[in-house]
């Protein structure tokens, strides 16, 4: 995926907030090792490194563009190009963190227990993923992808529900966890600017479309999606746009 750190950074505060909420939900601990999977441009990795300044902290990401931004932040963190699908820790880690990344990886039924097995006894795995795939931002994108001259090119590129029901994650993690806490929060992001939901999704959900279509076809797709989003997310009286966004959180403590 052609991740664009500048586009992703447009709504930095709103995007980072669930990550900070996840960090705040971590139990008190003094980890020696912390890993941030899908660390992106590294801002949350830095928050982890600042919280535990004595810990060895690594940020793993498969996008060299995102990691390039992260590498500018701080040399205390080991920034590593890597793919979560094949990642295993050299030694069990004390805090395994992932914000808004694992929804891009398939096979959660095997991935999540495998990741928790990489956590040291008594250590924690903390994950946040969007669970807004039934929201207009995503349903309109999928409908449009299926209904136009681009349908064949886009077939199978937009996944319908990459994130499962909350209870499913409990069932996958509980057999090897001492404690599993799963919850959801729906944020009401307040966005500035023209077409902010389009600008938001251009950095994430729309990436498969941006990678596949080109030229006039991409311009046509984008304009139709923009118009549909503008109707679904009308501007408020103050000119801003409200973007409801449901997210799934989990913090699992590895059994001793």
Ligand X SMILES: C[S@@+](CC[C@H](N)C(=O)[O-])C[C@H]1O[C@@H](n2cnc3c(N)ncnc32)[C@H](O)[C@@H]1O
Asked if 132 touches ligand X (CB under 6 A), the answer is: no
Instruction: Kindly tell me which residue out of 49, 66, 119, 120 binds ligand X, with binding defined by CB under 6 A.
Output: 66
Among 143, 165, 163, 164, which residue's Cα sits nearest to residue 154? 143
Supply 232's token pair: 């679904």
**Gap between the Cα atoms of 157 and 121, Å rounded:** 38
Instruction: Kindly tell me which residue out of 61, 77, 129, 206 binds ligand X, with binding defined by CB under 6 A.
Output: 61
Instruction: Kindly tell me which residue out of 99, 132, 201, 253 binds ligand X, with binding defined by CB under 6 A.
Output: 99
Residue with CB nearest ligand X? 40
Instruction: Kindly tell me which residue out of 100, 126, 207, 229 binds ligand X, with binding defined by CB under 6 A.
Output: 100
* Phi, psi dihedral angles at 56 (to 5 degrees): -85, 120
Asked if 126 touches ligand X (CB under 6 A), the answer is: no
Instruction: Kindly tell me which residue out of 7, 168, 185, 204 binds ligand X, with binding defined by CB under 6 A.
Output: 204
Asked if 200 touches ligand X (CB under 6 A), the answer is: no
**Gap between the Cα atoms of 224 and 3, Å rounded:** 23
* Phi, psi dihedral angles at 13 (to 5 degrees): -65, -45
Instruction: Kindly tell me which residue out of 10, 26, 47, 84 binds ligand X, with binding defined by CB under 6 A.
Output: 84
Q: What residues from 21 to 40 belong to the interface with ligand X (CB under 6 A)?
A: 38-40
Q: Which one, 2 or 152, has the nearer CB to ligand X?
A: 2
Asked if 63 touches ligand X (CB under 6 A), the answer is: yes
> Are 233 and 242 a contacting pair, CB within 8 Å?
yes
> Which segments of the chain are extended strands (E)?
33-37, 56-61, 78-81, 93-99, 119-130, 177-191, 241-254
Residues at the interface with ligand X (CB under 6 A): 3, 19, 38-40, 43-44, 61-63, 66, 83-85, 99-101, 104-105, 204
């Amino acid at each position: 995926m052609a991740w664009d750190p500048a586009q992703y950074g447009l709504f930095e505060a709103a995007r980072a907030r669930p990550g900070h909420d996840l960090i705040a939900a971590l139990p008190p601990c003094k980890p020696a090792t912390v890993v941030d999977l899908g660390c992106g441009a590294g801002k949350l990795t830095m928050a982890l490194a600042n919280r535990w300044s004595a810990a060895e902290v690594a940020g793993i990401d498969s996008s060299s563009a995102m990691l390039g931004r992260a590498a500018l932040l701080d040399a205390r963190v080991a920034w590593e190009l890597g793919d979560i699908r094949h990642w295993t820790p050299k030694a069990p880690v004390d805090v395994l963190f992932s914000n808004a990344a694992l929804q891009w990886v398939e096979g959660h039924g095997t991935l999540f227990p495998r990741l928790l097995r990489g956590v040291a006894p008594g250590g924690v795995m903390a994950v946040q993923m969007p669970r807004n795939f039934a929201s207009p931002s995503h349903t309109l994108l999928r409908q449009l992808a299926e209904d136009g001259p681009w349908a064949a090119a886009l077939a199978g590129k937009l996944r319908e529900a990459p994130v499962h029901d909350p209870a499913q994650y409990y069932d996958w993690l509980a057999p090897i966890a001492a404690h599993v806490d799963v919850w959801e929060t729906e944020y009401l992001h307040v966005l500035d600017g023209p077409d902010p939901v389009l600008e938001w999704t251009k950095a994430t959900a729309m990436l498969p479309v941006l990678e596949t279509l080109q030229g006039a076809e991409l311009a046509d797709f984008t304009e139709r999606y923009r118009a549909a989003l503008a109707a679904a997310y009308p501007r408020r009286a103050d000119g801003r746009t409200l973007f409801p966004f449901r997210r799934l959180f989990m913090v699992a403590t590895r059994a001793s």
